[in-house]
Amino acid sequence: MSTGLVTRDLRVAVEGKEILKGIDLRVERGRVHALMGPNGSGKSTLAFTLAGHPGYEVLAGSVTLDGEDLLALPPEKRAQAGLFLSFQYPAAIPGVTVANFIRTARQAVRPGDLVPAAFRKLVFEKLETLDMDPAFLGRYVNDGFSGGEKKRLEMLQMAIMGPKYAILDETDSGLDIDALESVGKSVAALRASDEGKDTGFLVITHYPRILQHIHADVVHILIDGRIVKTGGPELAEQIERDGYDGVRDEVASAGV
Amino acid sequence: MSSVTETPAGVAFAPTADGLEAAIALLEHVGERGGGIVGADERRAALARYATLPIPGGRPSRGWRHDYGALRFEELRYTSDRLAVPASTDGLVHRGATALAAPGSAASDPRVVVLPLVDAVRDARYRAAIPALDEGIVEDKFAGLATAFQNCGAFVWVPAGVVLETPIQLVFAQAEPHADAVFPRIVVVLGDGARATVLERQLGAGPGLVCGVVTAQLGAEAALDYVAIQQSGEEARVLMRRTAHCAADATIRWHLAELGATLARSVLDAHLDEKGANAEVDALFFNTGFQHVDLTTTTDHAVGNTRSSTVVRTAAADRGQGRFFGNITIRPHAHGSDASLRDDALLLSRRAHIDSVPALAIAANDVSAFHGATVGSLDRDALFYAASRGIARTEAVRMVALAFFEPAIARLPSEALREEIRSALDDKIEAATEIDA
């Protein structure tokens, strides 16, 4: 069995236009991979494709989660298999409280594993870890939330669902430094918990600054639908210094 | 209720002059057991209005199944009766057009009066408190039918200053296996400063007809929560007009859930007659199968410094159809009025159809009037978001669709009622066969 969240030669089109042109990636349990790229490089396309959004057409390739064929599964089965996507723009569901939503979600991915009292305890622990007001629970999901509040709710859900693999799609976008720190803490707290110590992360970002708060083991650079370079944390520093054009020039001169 | 086995005397119902004479003869024969409030000549005049007044809301356009002009009333039984039974809870039960009531008031608070209407009519203390029908009701075609054939009803009187904690329940249950023609007149009178909740339930299987008029009269600073829950059988027709008149600083809260029947027409009027009067209206329907509901809300700001807030949520799945007419009138000189009307419609299948027809008539300056409306289908982004959290599609659809009704449900006066309506809507979503998303 092939462990990890693995894509092989993944090609994806949106509305007939090929966006991802052959992605090979392996995110191992317990490791943090950063996927960096400029606007329009296909970062969010990869996130939505992995999560099973119906608007993304897989032209070729495969995606497996610990050996299980994800592409054969509808989105909810992918989540039940242990995949979590933190949305860049999470949808609002007016009328559904956060409490109801996270209880239903937890029940869906880990049926019957916690009695109500234990679930309640878990929720309040996570709220405290994330420094969130319990009043959040009574609000409607993402309804009238600020950008920072939406991202905190994504982090809360991640902490409660305890996925095997978590994709953070531009979780840093639109956040101020405090909120960014809090996201960093959330990820660190999840990795320190029993449920999250083996979680593999794919942190998708445009800007290197989130990697000051989440330490990446591996950094990939995605340009024009292809991973053009893979390296260690120093690659993020190079982006900080030279921008994506620097990498583009380097790749072009190397004749890739 | 199950102990009642007597079959009351009855005649065939027909909305014609001959049918009415048969009904009047029956009422005289039984000693006007459930009728009595309407004299024979008045009944004849009301039938004439029914025959000549236009069909409310106009004729439905092409593709609409229900046409009031083509309503059929065959095989309906017309009766009127009153049976003495032991008192149970606060309230009054009708089985068909038979009032099942203890002798004396069915209210736990001795100051409050809950009686079959016929008993109230015979008591001079209460008879004077029963208001005449206002112009709006008189000019309503189906209120004409209800008046012509009135054969049962209830009288609720909450004297000045009395605050009633327990809801008064008025239950109208179709008496299977008969198909009854039931014409209730419900009169609710609250004295100055009185507070009460009245819960009207339309229940029961069977292909009956309920056509009735509710009038509520609120004294100064009175507050009435009137909850109407319609869960009649899938072949029933239920046509109800409910009207409230509010004195100074009084508050009427109409709460309506139309869930059953093949055809339901529901009119909610709020007349803000004196300054400081308030109306809060929340209404919902969810039409599945072949159901059709016409819902009309009318708020009349007759004087200034009156407020109203209307929240309507309508949905249809399968081949359900519905119309919402939302009317707000602000009369000349009603300065300082504040009115809002919010209606949202959710179409859950391609063959479902909902029309929303707002009408704001504002004749005063210096008022605040808001209207907002949407018609849409389920939010696909919300469904994908829920799916990405492991929530199965059917569960996600159920969750998002139920949530749609929440702004109306949230205004119900108790958590027990909120849970009841959520559960009833949930059952309907479960039973719906055509939900596209």
Q: How far apart are CA B340 and CA B310, in angstroms?
A: 6
A91 vs B: CB within 8 A: yes
Q: What does the block give as tokens for B283?
A: 């209404």
What's the sign of the alpha-carbon dihedral B32, B38, B42, B48?
negative
Among A76, A84, A94, the residue with its CB nearest the CB of B391 is A76
Q: Which of residues 21-60 of A touch B (CB under 8 A)?
A: 51-54
Structure ipTM: 0.96
**What does residue A221 show for φ and ψ, rounded to 5 degrees?**
-110, 125
**Predicted confidence band at B36 (pLDDT cuts at 50, 70, 90)?**
low
Calculate ∠ Cα A115-A117-A119, nearest 5°: 70
Tell which residue, A6, A167, A163, has the closest CA to residue A71.
Answer: A6
Q: Specify the pLDDT at position B419.
A: 97
Global pTM value: 0.89
CB contact under 8 A, B391 and A80: no
Q: Dihedral through CA A224, CA A229, CA A232, CA A238, nearest 10? A: -70
In chain B, which residues have their Cβ closer than 8 Å to the Cβ of A79? 387-390
Amino acid residing at A145? F
The residue whose two tokens read 């290197």 is: A208
pLDDT reported for residue A130: 85
pLDDT of B364 over the 80 cut: yes
B395–A95 C-beta distance less than 8 A: no
Alpha-helical (H) ranges within B318-414 are 380-387, 393-404, 406-409
B381, B384, B399: residue with CB nearest A96:
B399
Residue A1's pLDDT is 55
Model confidence over A128-166: pLDDT tens digits?
988 889 999 999 999 999 988 999 999 999 999 999 999
CB-CB under 8 Å, B402 with A108: no
Would you state the pLDDT for residue B301? 98
Model pLDDT, residue B59:
64
Cα distance between residue A43 and residue B111, in whole Å: 71
The CA dihedral of B347, B351, B352, B356, to the nearest 10 degrees, is 90
pLDDT tens profile B59-94: 666 667 667 777 788 889 999 888 888 776 688 999
Between B222 and B433, where is the model more confident?
A: B222
Whether the Cβ atoms of residue A252 and residue A228 lie closer than 8 Å to each other: no
B286-310 pLDDT per residue, tens = 999 999 999 999 999 999 999 999 9
Q: Inform me whether the C-beta atom of residue B384 falls under 8 Å from chain A C-beta atoms.
A: yes
Per-residue pLDDT tens digits for A10-29: 999 999 999 999 999 999 99
Looking at the complex, does the CB of residue B427 fall below 8 Å from at least one CB of chain A? no
With tokens 């089109």, the residue in question is: A13
- Give the pLDDT confidence of A97-132 residue by residue, as tens digits: 999 999 999 999 999 888 889 999 999 999 998 888
Helix (H, G, I), strand (E, B) or coil at B344: strand
**Whole-angstrom distance, CA of residue B430 vs CA of residue A214:** 44
pLDDT bin (cut points 50, 70, 90) of residue B6 is low
**pLDDT tens digits, one per residue of B172-185:** 998 777 799 999 99
Chain-chain contact of A91 with B382 (C-beta, under 8 angstroms):
yes
Residue B2 reports pLDDT greater than 50: no
- Structural domains in chain A plus CATH codes: 5-253 (3.40.50.300)
CB-based contact A68:A14 (threshold 8 Å): no
Burial class (CB in 10 A: 0-12, 13-18, 19+), A234: exposed
Provide the pLDDT for residue B29.
Answer: 85
What confidence score (pLDDT) does residue B291 get?
A: 93
pLDDT(B335) > 90: yes
Q: Checking phi first, is residue B338 left (phi over 0); if not, alpha (psi -120 to 50) or beta?
A: beta
State the pLDDT at residue B52.
Answer: 95
Q: Phi then psi for B106, rounded to 5 degrees?
A: -95, 55
* A80/chain B closest Cα distance in angstroms: 5
Contacts of B407 in chain A (CB under 8 A): 94-95
| Span A174-205, pLDDT tens digits | 788 888 888 888 888 888 888 888 999 999 99
B386 touches chain A (CB under 8 A): yes
In chain B, the residue whose alpha carbon lies closest to the alpha carbon of A161 is B389
CA distances to A25, B150, B318 from B237, in Å? 63, 16, 19
Chain A residues in contact with B405 (beta carbon < 8 A): 95
B22, B33, B47, B152 from B118: Cα distances, Å: 20, 7, 21, 7
Is the pLDDT higher at B194 or at A188?
Answer: B194
Sheet containing A200-205: order of strands: A83-86, A165-169, A200-205, A32-36, A218-223, A226-231
Radius of gyration from C-alpha coordinates of chain A: 18
First to last CA, chain A: 32
* pLDDT tens-digit series, residues B125-136: 999 999 999 999
Question: pLDDT grade, residue B1 (50/70/90)?
Answer: very low
What was the pLDDT predicted at B83? 84
Contacts of B277 (CB under 8 A, 6+ apart): B246, B247, B248, B249, B250, B251, B303, B306, B307
Does pLDDT of B357 surpass 60? yes
Separation between Cα atoms, residue A35 and residue B55, nearest integer Å: 65
Q: Do A51 and B388 touch (CB under 8 A)?
A: yes
Stretch B317-344: mean pLDDT: 95
Interchain CB distance below 8 Å, A85 and B395:
no
Q: Which residue of B has its CA nearest to A162?
A: B389
**Residue with tokens 């009178």, as numbered in its chain:** B189
Look over chain B and give the mean of its residue pLDDT values, rounded to a whole number: 91
Residue B426's region, left for phi above 0, alpha for psi from -120 to 50, else beta, is alpha
Burial B323-344 (b: 16+ CB within 10 A, else e): bbbbbbbbbeebebbbbbbbbb
With residue B280 as reference, give the H or E element that holds it.
strand B278-287
Kindly state whether B62 is in contact with chain A, defined as any CB-CB distance less than 8 angstroms.
Answer: no
pLDDT, tens only, A210-256: 888 889 999 999 999 999 999 999 999 999 888 898 888 888 887 65
Q: What does the pLDDT read at residue B420?
A: 97
